[in-house]
């Protein structure tokens, strides 16, 4: 029989100095016999595993795998964890080739370190499931846990309750003390809520000044009224701000799952309605939902009906406005403008996107609003006569997934006289997974059309690096909440660095939003971010106020 190691090296390397090449290769390599025993190993693999080459000879390489990844190495490419000599787990990609010439079913194994990629994905996954300010679970993780709790309760005949919490007059805190103080209050409230609940309950930040608690396995000693009272006591702990004690109150809606509840979303809507009733009852801190709330919960936002009717009229009457925020390189070169919708409401004043867009998503107004913003943004972009200066438009992934969306974009480009490379479409990462099967086809059509594609708020949706490579997008835009704390919060810093790493690994462009200081800009540039937007380069403004910046393709970089 031909010596296995000799045959492998000659066949694989086909060079006179094949042994030297094998030994000096920076990729970890080993030759295994049919039983998985190491016959030859190079220095790179031995050092990677924290061992001397002699210690590996005659051993079974698969014995170094962790408990979850046992089993012999097989031909092909696989991912598994190996144990370093000091005890830590190492994620590796194993490429193994069978060696029939040996007559022993041996393998040539190449091992690449994937630990850094796995760590990046772990950081991004945590960020996708947790609120960056309070580190509580976010609405995505909460809804997943709620659905699991409901399924478990049906099997075990136990009780599940949802408590929807909205802070009272929180806007006054921001207006009086500033947004940093508001953040301190939210952190304190989150801590108080968490301390008031059981370890088996899920406490989540729903958004803004809203929190949701999911309680399961409730018994006779856990009446929902007592739960609400405990929550109020935890929330109302005084917070010290600027030398003053500030006490926060809250309104709570409580909903208990019953035969009428078909989903976690419906149970949350019921609790939301009960909270809304508590908010509008003087002297009432909490309301337990009744049958009427359950009946009305089939309407996604029944108390928003007036606002949506007003918005429908505003779209039809062309009463909405677009403001634009510069997108720049680190030296202030203007490369694009992001279109941001504004609504001058006749009674409520100027409404920001966060005031009404969450209420529009999923309704029959989503399409006409999307079309209005696209049409207005393309018309404005055509007016500056420079396709190198792109306009970015936020679109719901569910709207992109609708059949014919790419055809509509192509028609609007022709109508506006705008080149396709002058348009960027941004979709929120969180929405991608639920957009529907048509999304991939429409994205491919848009890409072939020449339209730029970006994932907004990247770091909040849990997209894996493998999944990212399959998406035909050009740009990853890190969520502004992580940028805000990137210099002071290690977790936010880790997410910002991980997004840059993910972009680089997938061959995508990295964009940072919410950049407000020169120090942030320097750090982000060092991490590999290529473009930026935020108050450092300019707040959103009407197009007429940006005419000089557009003409010179440059903005002044400085504090707002």
Is 288 in contact with 251 (CB distance < 8 Å)?
no
Residue 239: inside a domain: yes
Is 362 in contact with 557 (CB distance < 8 Å)?
no
Is 277 in contact with 287 (CB distance < 8 Å)?
yes
pLDDT tens for the chain, 560 residues: list them: 334 445 455 544 445 556 777 777 888 888 888 888 888 899 899 989 998 988 899 888 888 887 666 667 777 788 888 888 887 888 888 888 887 655 567 888 888 888 777 777 777 777 778 888 888 998 888 988 999 889 888 888 888 999 999 898 887 787 788 878 888 889 999 999 988 888 888 999 988 888 999 998 876 555 788 888 888 988 888 888 877 888 888 999 999 887 777 788 888 888 888 888 887 777 778 888 876 555 555 444 444 456 788 899 999 999 999 999 999 999 999 999 999 999 998 877 888 887 788 778 778 888 999 999 999 999 999 999 888 899 999 999 889 998 889 999 999 999 999 999 999 999 988 788 777 778 888 999 999 999 999 988 876 666 655 666 677 889 999 888 889 888 988 888 888 998 888 888 888 899 999 999 999 999 999 999 999 999 999 999 999 999 999 999 999 886 54
Q: Measure the CA dihedral 347/350/353/356, to 10°.
A: 0
Residues 6+ apart with CB under 8 A from 317: none
Distance (Å, whole) CA 217 – CA 500: 42
What are 162's strand-pairing partners?
Answer: 214, 255
Is 401 in contact with 387 (CB distance < 8 Å)?
no
DSSP code per residue over 176-201: HH-HHHHHHHHHHHHHHHHHHS-TTS
Is 255 in contact with 150 (CB distance < 8 Å)?
no
What CATH number is associated with residue 200?
3.30.70.270
Do residue 234 and residue 327 come from a single domain? no
Q: Measure the CA dihedral 257/258/262/265, to 10°.
A: -20
Closest CA to 502 of 16, 19, 128: 128
Do residue 361 and residue 396 come from a single domain? yes
Q: What is the pLDDT of residue 216?
A: 87
If you ran DSSP here, which 8-state letter would residue 217 be given? S
Q: What is the pLDDT of residue 520?
A: 93
Closest CA to 326 of 400, 413, 384: 384
Distance (Å, whole) CA 340 – CA 534: 13
Distance (Å, whole) CA 134 – CA 476: 24
Do residue 476 and residue 413 come from a single domain? yes
* β 160-167/89-99 pair status: unpaired
Do residue 154 and residue 21 come from a single domain? no
Among the candidates 113, 143, 170, a domain finishes at 113
Q: Measure the CA dihedral 177/179/181/184, to 10°.
A: 160
pTM summary value? 0.63
Residue 119: inside a domain: no
What CATH number is associated with residue 12?
3.30.450.20
Among the candidates 85, 113, 141, a domain finishes at 113
Do residue 34 and residue 70 come from a single domain? yes
What CATH number is associated with residue 384?
3.20.20.450
- Tally of CA atoms within 13 A in the half-sphere of 476 that contains its CB: 31
Among the candidates 242, 270, 298, a domain finishes at 298
Residue 118: inside a domain: no
Residue 107: inside a domain: yes
Residue 356 parent element (H or E): helix 353-360
Closest CA to 58 of 40, 85, 46: 40
31 is written with which tokens? 């030759």
What are 314's strand-pairing partners?
Answer: none
Do residue 467 and residue 358 come from a single domain? yes
Do residue 338 and residue 415 come from a single domain? yes
Do residue 155 and residue 59 come from a single domain? no
Distance (Å, whole) CA 503 – CA 507: 6
Do residue 35 and residue 184 come from a single domain? no
Residue 556: inside a domain: no
What are 547's strand-pairing partners?
Answer: none
Residue 557: inside a domain: no
Do residue 361 and residue 389 come from a single domain? yes
Distance (Å, whole) CA 53 – CA 45: 8
Q: What is the pLDDT of residue 68?
A: 67
Q: What is the pLDDT of residue 2?
A: 39
Residue 336: inside a domain: yes
Residues 6+ apart with CB under 8 A from 315: 365, 368, 369, 372
Supply the range of the domain harboring residue 61.
Answer: 4-113
∠ CA(154), CA(158), CA(159), 5° rounding?
105
Q: What is the pLDDT of residue 318?
A: 92
48 is written with which tokens? 């990677």
Residue 495: inside a domain: yes
479 is written with which tokens? 């969520």
Do residue 65 and residue 81 come from a single domain? yes
* β 349-351/334-345 pair status: antiparallel
Do residue 311 and residue 293 come from a single domain? no
Number of H helices, E strands in the chain: 23, 22
Distance (Å, whole) CA 155 – CA 158: 8
Q: What is the pLDDT of residue 1?
A: 34
* β 321-328/286-288 pair status: unpaired
Q: What is the pLDDT of residue 300?
A: 44
Closest CA to 213 of 201, 229, 225: 201
Q: What are phi and psi of 325, to 5 degrees?
A: -115, 130
Distance (Å, whole) CA 14 – CA 10: 5
Residues 6+ apart with CB under 8 A from 481: 132, 133, 492, 514
How many domains are there within the chain?
3
Instruction: Report the length, in residues, of the chain.
Output: 560
Distance (Å, whole) CA 516 – CA 508: 24
């Amino acid at each position: 029989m031909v010596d296995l190691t000799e045959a492998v090296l000659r066949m694989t390397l086909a060079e006179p100095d094949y042994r030297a090449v094998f030994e000096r290769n920076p990729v970890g390599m080993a030759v295994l016999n049919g039983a998985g025993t190491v016959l030859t190993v190079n220095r790179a693999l031995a050092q990677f595993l924290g061992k001397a080459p002699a210690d590996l000879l005659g051993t079974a390489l698969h014995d170094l795998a962790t408990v979850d990844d046992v089993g012999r190495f097989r031909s092909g490419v696989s991912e598994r964890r190996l144990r370093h000599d000091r005890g830590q787990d190492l994620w590796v990609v194993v490429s193994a080739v069978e060696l029939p010439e040996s007559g022993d079913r041996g393998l040539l194994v190449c091992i690449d370190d994937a630990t850094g990629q796995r760590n990046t994905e772990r950081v991004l996954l945590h960020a996708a499931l947790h609120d960056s300010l309070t580190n509580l679970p976010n609405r995505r993780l909460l809804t997943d846990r709620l659905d699991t709790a409901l399924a478990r309760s049906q099997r075990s005949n136990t009780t599940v309750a949802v408590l929807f919490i909205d802070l009272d007059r929180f806007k006054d805190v921001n207006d009086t003390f500033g947004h940093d103080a508001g953040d301190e209050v939210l952190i304190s409230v989150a801590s108080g809520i968490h301390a008031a609940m059981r370890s088996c309950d899920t406490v989540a930040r729903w958004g803004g000044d809203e929190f949701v608690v999911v309680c399961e396995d409730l018994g006779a000693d856990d009446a929902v009224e007592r739960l609400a009272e405990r929550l109020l006591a935890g929330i109302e702990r005084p917070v010290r701000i600027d030398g003053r004690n500030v006490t926060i109150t809250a309104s709570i809606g409580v909903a208990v799952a019953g035969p009428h509840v078909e989903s976690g979303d419906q149970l949350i809507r019921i609790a939301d309605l009960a909270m809304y009733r508590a908010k509008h009852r003087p002297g009432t801190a909490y309301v337990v939902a009744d049958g009427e709330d359950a009946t009305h919960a089939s309407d996604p936002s029944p108390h928003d009906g007036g606002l949506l009717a007003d918005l429908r009229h505003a779209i039809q009457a062309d009463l909405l406005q677009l403001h634009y925020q510069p997108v720049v390189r680190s030296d202030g070169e203007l490369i694009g403008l992001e279109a941001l919708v504004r609504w001058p409401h006749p009674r409520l004043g100027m409404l920001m996107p966060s005031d009404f867009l969450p209420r529009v998503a999923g309704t029959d107004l989503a399409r006409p609003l999307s079309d209005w913003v696209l049409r207005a943004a393309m018309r404005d972009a055509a007016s500056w006569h420079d396709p190198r200066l792109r306009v970015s438009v936020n679109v719901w992934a569910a709207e992109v997934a609708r059949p014919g969306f790419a055809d509509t974009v192509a028609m609007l480009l022709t109508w506006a006289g705008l080149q396709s490379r002058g348009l960027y479409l941004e979709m929120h990462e969180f929405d991608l997974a639920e957009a529907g099967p048509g999304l991939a086809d429409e994205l491919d059509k848009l890409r072939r059309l020449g339209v730029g594609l970006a994932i907004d708020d990247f770091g909040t949706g849990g997209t894996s690096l493998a999944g990212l490579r399959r998406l035909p997008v050009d740009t990853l835009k890190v969520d502004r909440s992580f940028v805000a704390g990137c210099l002071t919060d290690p977790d936010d810093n880790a997410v910002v660095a991980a997004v840059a790493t993910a972009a680089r690994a997938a061959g995508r462009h990295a964009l940072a939003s919410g950049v407000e200081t020169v120090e942030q800009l320097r750090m982000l540039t060092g991490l590999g971010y290529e473009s930026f937007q935020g108050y450092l380069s300019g707040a959103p403004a009407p197009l007429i106020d940006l005419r000089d910046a557009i003409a010179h393709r440059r903005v002044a970089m400085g504090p707002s």
